[in-house]
C-alpha cells in the first residue's frame, strides 16, 4: 500500500460518520491554471476537471452526503474569450448527457439539476440539461446541483422579482415577506437542505466569489491549495475532518 493510500485509510478512520455534512458546495477553481502548468490550452484543464466531478460525487455518496452543489460556470465567465466559452459549452453539453447515462447516477438515485440563468446558455446545452434533469427527476436519494450561468447576487434579484410579481398580482402582501419566503424563491428551493454546511474552494483562493451568498450565511468554509483537477480523496477527507473539528454555534 502506497503512503498516500495508507494516509487516506487513516483519515477515513478519523471521520465521524454521525457528523457528516448534509450539503456540500464546491467552488471548483484552478482548472485553467492547471492547464497552464501542463503547457496546454485553458480548456484542457476543464476537461480534466470534469472527470474529477464524477469521482467527487462517488466520494460524497460513500459518506452519505446527500447534496452537492458545484460552481461550474459563473455569469462573469461569459466574458472570457469566445473560443474558450464555446469549447466550454461543448464540454457542458457532453458532460450533462454523459452523467445522465452514468450507471452510478441511477444506481444511487441521484437527481441532477442545473441552477442559474439557464436561458442564457446555447440551445444545445439547454437540451442536454433537460435530458439529464428528465432522466433523474424522480430520484431523491441524493442531489447534484450544477451552478451554471450562475451568480449569487443575480439569484437574489430573480427571487425578489418573483416575490414582487406576486405582490403586484395581489397573491401576497409585503408584510408576508420573511427569510423563508425568500428561500422558497431561490434556485435551491427544491432541496431538502438548501443551505450548505460546508463550502470547499480549491486552488488557494480565499473568497466566496458570488456563490450561494444567501444560502452560505452559516456555512463553514474550507480553502485548499490544490487545483480542482488534482483534488484528491485525501484533500476531501481533510475538509470533512476540519469541518467536524469546528464548533458550530450558529450565534448561540
Q: Catalytic site residue 77?
A: yes
Options 19, 40, 64, 77, the catalytic residue: 77
What's the CA gap between 149 and 177, in Å, rounded? 27
Residue showing cell 454555534 = 249
Options 19, 29, 195, 197, the catalytic residue: 29
Residues 6 or more apart in contact with residue 180 via CB below 8 angstroms: none
Partners of residue 68 on adjacent β-strands? 24, 144
**Structure-block grid coordinates of residue 65:** 452526503
Q: Looking at the chain, how many residues does it have? A: 252
Q: Catalytic site residue 104?
A: no
Question: What is the three-class DSSP state of 88?
Answer: helix
Q: Give which of 94, 156, 86 is closest to 121, Cα–Cα.
A: 86
Q: Which residues are known catalytic residues?
A: 29, 77
Amino acid at each position: 500500500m502506497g503512503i498516500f493510500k495508507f494516509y487516506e485509510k487513516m483519515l477515513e478512520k478519523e471521520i465521524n460518520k454521525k457528523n457528516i455534512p448534509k450539503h456540500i458546495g464546491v467552488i471548483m477553481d484552478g482548472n485553467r491554471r492547471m492547464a497552464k502548468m501542463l503547457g496546454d490550452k485553458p480548456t484542457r484543464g476543464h476537461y480534466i476537471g470534469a472527470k474529477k466531478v464524477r469521482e467527487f460525487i462517488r466520494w460524497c455518496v460513500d459518506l452519505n452526503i446527500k447534496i452537492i452543489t458545484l460552481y461550474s460556470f459563473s455569469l462573469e465567465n461569459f466574458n472570457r474569450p469566445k473560443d474558450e466559452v464555446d469549447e466550454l459549452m461543448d464540454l457542458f453539453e457532453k458532460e450533462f448527457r454523459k452523467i445522465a447515462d452514468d450507471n452510478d447516477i441511477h444506481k444511487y438515485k441521484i437527481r441532477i439539476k442545473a441552477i442559474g440563468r439557464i436561458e442564457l446558455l446555447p440551445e444545445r446545452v439547454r437540451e442536454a440539461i433537460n435530458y439529464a434533469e428528465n432522466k433523474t427527476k424522480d430520484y431523491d436519494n441524493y442531489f447534484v446541483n450544477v451552478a451554471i450561468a450562475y451568480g449569487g447576487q443575480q439569484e437574489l434579484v430573480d427571487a425578489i422579482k418573483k416575490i414582487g410579481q406576486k405582490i403586484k398580482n395581489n397573491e401576497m402582501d409585503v408584510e408576508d415577506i420573511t427569510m423563508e419566503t425568500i428561500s422558497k424563491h431561490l434556485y435551491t428551493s427544491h432541496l431538502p437542505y438548501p443551505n450548505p454546511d460546508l463550502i470547499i474552494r480549491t486552488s488557494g483562493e480565499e473568497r466566496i466569489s458570488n456563490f450561494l451568498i444567501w444560502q452560505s450565511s452559516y456555512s463553514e468554509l474550507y480553502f485548499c491549495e490544490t487545483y480542482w483537477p488534482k483534488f484528491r480523496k485525501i484533500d476531501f477527507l481533510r475538509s470533512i475532518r476540519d469541518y467536524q473539528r469546528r464548533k458550530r454555534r450558529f450565534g448561540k
